[in-house]
Amino acid sequence: MNGFNWAELSTAMPGLIQGLGVTLRLLALGVAGGIIIGTLLALARLSSIKILSTAAKLYVNYFRSVPLLLVLIWFYYAVPMMFTLITGDYLTIDVAFTSCAVAFMLFEAAYFSEVVRAGIQSISKGQFNAAYALGMTYPQAMRLVILPQAFRKMLPLILQQSIILFQDTTLVAAIGLVDFFRASYVRGDLMNLLTPYIIFAGAMYFVVSSLAMYGVKQLQKRLRV
């Protein structure tokens, strides 16, 4: 670890912070998009319409059975092709970031959908009956009564899956996107301090994940009260 000191780290900090910003943006998009799409998938799986429930089940089973790295590589090539096919123009924005964001949203949706489905099924049928007694339709009952209660119950699981996604963002380095891990790797390789920088990056992920997990446990305790 010769040559790795606070002066070197302070010099590298702007690049590391920029990489951290990429990681956090991917995390935010992956979680938000995953929850929205996952909720729609969960509702489709619970639907009495056979074609909807079957299609949602196939989607979930498919994405849960393939590696995330493979999905990232697929979308790295697929997103520009689909964009060009639909619009007739070339994709002018950051291909790597856009493809990773889309891949994370669609991949995580398969996992969030199971969390949401379990949360909905945990709500007693009496809640549905009470909503129907008030004259609500099924969409109204789901939106105003069932989903708010379900999300409260499944919030810890959503946060746990978000922590896993935070760790999985390191995989974007495989397609050249400069996230926090990639920024640390490149800086370490450039300064011939690869091992110290990788250890530093690992320590940061460990600290953030540990603090987040502690927060989830405290939230679980509060929700059980």
pLDDT in tens, the chain (225 residues): 456 677 888 888 999 999 999 999 999 999 999 999 999 999 999 988 999 999 999 999 999 999 999 999 999 988 888 777 776 666 566 788 989 999 999 999 999 999 999 999 988 888 888 888 888 888 888 888 889 888 888 988 999 999 999 999 999 998 889 999 999 999 999 888 888 999 999 999 999 999 999 998 888 888 774
Contact 67, 142 (CB under 8 A): no
Backbone torsions φ then ψ of 192, nearest 5 degrees: 60, 35
- CATH class name, domain 23-172: mainly alpha
Reading the block at residue 67, the tokens are 């590696």
pTM: 0.88
Give first-to-last CA distance, the chain, whole Å: 48
Q: Distance between CA atoms of 176 and 173, rounded to whole angstroms?
A: 5
Half-sphere exposure of 63 (CA within 13 A, CB side): 24
Backbone torsions φ then ψ of 133, nearest 5 degrees: -65, -25
The domain ranges of the chain are 23-172
Contact 38, 113 (CB under 8 A): yes
